Amino acid sequence: YENRVVIAFLYVLILQHNRFVSDSKGKEPDVLFVGDSLVQLLHEFEVWRKLFSPLHALNFGVGGDATQHVLWRLVNGELDHISPKVVVLWVGTNNHGHTPEQICGGIMAIINVIHQKLPHAHTLVLGLLPRGKSPNPLRERNASVNALVQAEVASLSHVSFLDMDPGFILSDGSIAHQDMYDYLHLTPQAYQKVCQPLHERIKSLLDKHAP
């Protein structure tokens, strides 16, 4: 009985991947968003329509994805039929059991694949957000990942890093449920807060991109 459930799950994920690949054959996005549920859910709120659709953006977010899943998807077809100018990468918070060095390594591996497949694209890596209602090891882990990634990409001209935290952690160390309704995922208001600077950065990258 359990095997049927596992098979059903894998089936769903592969279908989602296949849908992204076939979606990509019909579209010509200037911007590709790829990552986990923070990317995926972004597509479901007004902010996507207002800020990112006008930039001709495509959304390849999959809830639950860790770096190895995103890597697999990009190696196996999701980049094969499109030439976005900017790839926005937001992944790493689901890498449970991995060290910050390993997660950074996973992110760098994704950046390398993107560069191989899309040599003219600029990759914008988004910093991992703090999570959990109160201070906890995952906040430290995510902050370490950000520091490591930021250092690694500093010397790469085709990659840049954007810190996405507008100050979610309050003075008492807590995160408000008005910003993260489950202390992981962003509310629509929080998406508005983080997406303004993201939108600006993407626009300036598009402007700089050779036509």
Partner 1 sequence: MSAEENPAAEPAPVIDVQGDGRWMSQECKDAEPDVLFVGDSMVQLMQQYEVWREVFSPLHALNFGIGGDTTCNVLWRLQNGELENIRPRVVVLWVGTNNHEHTADQVAGGILAIAQLVLSRLPRSKIIVLGLLPRGEFPNPLREKNAAVNNLLRASLPQLGPVQFIDVGGSFVHSDGAISSRDMFDFLHLTASAYRTISTTLHELLLQMLEEMPQERRASLV
The single residue listed with the structure tokens 């001209």 is 157
Interatomic CA distance for residues 60 and 67, integer angstroms: 13
Based on the residue annotation, tell me whether 185 is a catalytic residue of this protein: yes
Q: Per rule CB under 8 A, is residue 188 in the interface with partner 1?
A: yes
Shortest Å, Cβ 182 to partner 1: 6
Using DSSP's 3-state secondary structure scheme, residue 33 falls into: strand
The per-residue b/e assignment along 159-180, b for 16 or more CB within 10 angstroms, e otherwise, is bbbbebeeebbeeeeebeeebb
Identified binder of partner 1 from the candidate list 80, 101, 182, 200, rule CB under 8 A: 182
Q: Per rule CB under 8 A, is residue 184 in the interface with partner 1?
A: yes
Interatomic CA distance for residues 79 and 25, integer angstroms: 10
Q: Per rule CB under 8 A, is residue 170 in the interface with partner 1?
A: no
Shortest Å, Cβ 147 to partner 1: 19
Q: Per rule CB under 8 A, is residue 15 in the interface with partner 1?
A: yes
Q: Please count the residues of the chain.
A: 211
DSSP conformation class of 130: P
Identified binder of partner 1 from the candidate list 136, 151, 196, 197, rule CB under 8 A: 136
Shortest Å, Cβ 203 to partner 1: 25
Pick the piece of the chain touching partner 1 (CB under 8 A) from 8-16, 80-88, 106-114, 159-167.
8-16
Interatomic CA distance for residues 174 and 115, integer angstroms: 38
Interatomic CA distance for residues 186 and 188, integer angstroms: 6
Q: Per rule CB under 8 A, is residue 172 in the interface with partner 1?
A: no
Identified binder of partner 1 from the candidate list 45, 165, 199, 203, rule CB under 8 A: 45
207 CA to centre of own chain: 21
Identified binder of partner 1 from the candidate list 30, 187, 192, 206, rule CB under 8 A: 187
Identified binder of partner 1 from the candidate list 76, 134, 196, 204, rule CB under 8 A: 134
* Beta pairing, strands 57-61 & 122-126: unpaired
Q: Per rule CB under 8 A, is residue 12 in the interface with partner 1?
A: yes
Interatomic CA distance for residues 118 and 77, integer angstroms: 12
Beta strands (DSSP E) in 62-190 are: 86-90, 122-126, 159-162
Size of the site for partner 1 (CB under 8 A): 34
Binding site for partner 1 (CB under 8 A): 1-2, 4-5, 7-8, 11-12, 15-16, 19, 40, 43-45, 62-63, 96, 131-134, 136-139, 177, 181-185, 187-188
